[in-house]
Structure 1
Amino acid sequence: MKKNSTAQLKKVLKPIHLWAIAVGLVISGEYFGWNFGWAVSGTIGFLIATVIITIMYVTFIFSYTELTAAIPHSGGAFAYAYRALGPFGGLIAGYATLIDFLFATPAIAFALGSYLHFLYPGVQVIPAAIVFNITFILLNISGVKESAIFSVFITVLAVAELLLFMGVVAPSFKLANFTADPMPFGWSGIFAALPFAVWFYLAIEGVAMVAEEVKDPKKNIPRGYISSLATLIFLAFGIMILTGGITNWHQLSSIDYPLPEAIAIVLGKSNVLTKIFASIGLFGLIASFHGTILASSRQVYAMARSGYLPSPLAKINTRFKTPHWALVAGGLISFLALFSGTTSQIIILSVLGAIVMYIMSMISLFILRKKEPGLERPFVAPFYPIFPAIALFIAIICLIAIVYYNFKISLMFFVALFIVLLIFIFLGKHKVPILINTD
């Protein structure tokens, strides 16, 4: 691996930090975004889509953990694909991962601004989103341990609030509401809803981005992944089903703040508890926002360190031992995205990046099993090759569905990838070998 400086990332993260980072990365998906799936599939259609995606994530995470534990590298899928497929595979996986995390950040920023606007109508969405961006870039620059401690605190609050939400709305649940107009678009709606079901779990793989900062990564990374996935599955189904049964779900299928609106339906908009819930609802969004900024900066750092992005982005702050320029670069991308589209469009783009990355990761797993049978694998994917094959198959189905139902966004994604590949070849980066360590 090329070194831009002798500075190293600090190994300070423990299993509780990994659980908090993983759940924190994802938990905003329970607060907003998934409800757009109702608009294209109905409640039962989206429930089926979520079951399919949950199967994909269970099989994917158990398979992906083998890669992360064997190759604890802050580049994540970029490192695995490079080692398995060479420079072009690494570039495609790295590009997809950057799109995944860099565009998840502004999507969450949109929701943060919308929640504040729900609470205080005088607060404008975009300015609030920009303030959140700047604040959390500065927090992440201050140090990964400090960021991780914040993640634990904010994630525990977010999980507690979702449990409180389920307790408040459960008495108002009516099966007749949930099953009303259950699949208005038929079976095709299930495929259209897949990317919104992915939003329930998207970014859990971000734990890989802090692998170089984990104490005893080969033991602790599997613990972090598995405990966080179990938490998220419970929350995803609980929130989706209970919310869909309290009213006509059409009212909640196209807004950025479905949970505060659901509480308002149950308790009344003027109820003090409604305002309190919306206020603490910011915790879940903040947890994911903070986490995606952390993960995307490590991806930028890893690719810059390897020569795939400008080298200044790999510089580590001498005082805080964090990749400060990588954090700033990710923030600029987020600012631009905030002015370029709607929440649902940005979610689709982020999910598209994630799905391509999942495909590249599973292909890498199969190849590394053949190419490097002697690689130390502290965690071995169970039921190999069935689990990674299921994850790969469902991910390919998701990719086809996203391209079919979102052709313009998909075209932008792949045209940009083609341009990146041309630049990569023109600069001769594919001829410069790099070393992906397993230490």
Structure 2
Amino acid sequence: MKRKDFIRQASVLAASSFFVKANAFSQPAKPLRVGLIGVNGMGWSNLNAMLNVPGVVCTALCDVDERVLDKRIQELSKRNIAVKRFIDHQDLLKNDVVDAVIVATPDHWHCLQMVEAVKAGKHVYVEKPLGNSIKECEVMLAAASKYKKMVQVGQWQRSQQHFKDAIAYVQSGKLGKIRLVKAWAYQGWMKSIPVKPDTDVPTGVHYDRWLGPAKKRPFNANRFHFEFRWFWDYAGGLMTDWGVHMLDYALMGMKVSDPKSIMAAGGKFAYPEDAAETPDTLTTVFEFDNFNIQWEHANGIDLGPYDRNHGVAFIGNNGTLVLNRQGWEVIPEKGRMEAIPLQKSVDNGLQKHMENFVEAIRKNDKTLLQAPVEAGAHIATFAQMGNIAYKTGKKLYWDRQKRNFTDPEANKFLAASYQNGYTLPQS
């Protein structure tokens, strides 16, 4: 499913079911008050899904783009939902109108806002990738542990039944010895981003607040809103945007964590002259004992492995299980096992993920979380390893005990560079 189509569909599904809360939750006596930080795109889909859970109310919206902020406030007003309006997320966190926050800002803000939120006593739903560097993930883990708040990461496939069923089959041993796991994202809808000149900051945009700890630069529309993903100052391209989804299941299926080595090759092969910085084509190999995990991504192409534009394939001696958001199937090696036809997805993963988050808060039980901060930190770190291998152009070796690379050049990329008076938060 194309990302933009998913966001549109998720919003429609959430809005259409807003008045029909057909789930197993009973109406609690005390409402859970939610604030949204970052109200565009996925943040809006997240909020609508959460509002479908009985007993959840939205009490605050925060965004540095007043144009989008006011649009969302008006949309909620039409549904008889009145909220407080904030430009600065710190003002929202100091206010007693929220019990939990959704952090759906660009990646370079996730660490600061999640840490500040748990310090302020709020539960947090934070979009993936959890952190924009390996060191940020470590800080976020420590903060969640110290302040003992519920932190759910937006890896919503973890709440979908067909993903769980597929992983159970992988771990049954029926595929035989698995020697290679492929994970990929082929994004045909991702066209070239034309180079645009710098401009004045649009009216209503608090650009310094948007930049935050990132390098000071003139305003450029290419770097703003959705397209921030393709610039190293703010994110890690498709490796961290889609890789955290698909690679998460590669690791889960194989019951592994840290790789022995990582190597990557790619570049701007599709659109060499466009404005984006991150590679539009990339192959990354993560080495484990007795098998490899391979990541692929390509912009402008939809025909990925097994005729799917995204997915994970567990390639065993007896057959291959192919899994993505639409379902899973088993393709047998001839004469070695029976085929299993496509087992289609039957539920709304985003909706179930929000229900799971609310349930964990209600029961004060973090073990219920389908995508806890530990899972988010694990896969965000893993994806960052792939980007660091690409940036150095080397085969890198990971020291599991020291939690760093054996290569000094690679270790320079462990932490993001905080500027403009911001510093990496302390838990």
Normalising by structure 2, report the TM-score: 0.29
Q: Which has the higher contact order (CA 8 A, sep 6+)?
A: 1
The structure with more helix, counted as a fraction of residues: 1
The structure with more strand, counted as a fraction of residues: 2
